[in-house]
Amino acid sequence: MLNLKIEIEVEGKGKAIVELDDRNPQSAQAIYENLPLENKALLWLEEIYFDIPVTLDEENPSKMAEIGDISYWPPGYAFCIFFGDTQPYSEVNHIGRITQNLELFFKVDEGDRIILRKI
């Protein structure tokens, strides 16, 4: 993705860096173009997710996630942060990977404000 990066801020707790990749380039580009975005964190096991106002279809969907994957979940219009061993509820479009401060997400509580910005 031409070295595009996103900052994820968890208000009051810290920031992490994501590098977008080319696994689902149309999804990654669409989300990047809509930044900044923010919402309140929802938790499902070791995944953080929240709705974003971006509607995308499946591109190159995957049923599996690796620790640090950043993804888009088409059925819920959701931005997803896989910070542990949790696997997606259903197929997601992976758009990037956390490259700095993965440990931040273990401190996130449901309802924390999360802000996504271009770097």
Contact 45, 29 (CB under 8 A): no
Contact 46, 84 (CB under 8 A): yes
Length of the chain: 119
- How far apart CA 9 and CA 16 sit, in angstroms, is 7
Q: Looking up tokens 């990749």, which residue turns up?
A: 21
Tell if the pTM clears 0.85, that is, is over it. yes
Write out pLDDT tens, residues 17-72: 999 999 999 999 999 999 999 999 999 999 999 999 999 999 999 999 999 999 99
Amino acid 107 reads: K
Write out pLDDT tens, residues 87-114: 999 999 999 999 999 999 999 999 999 9
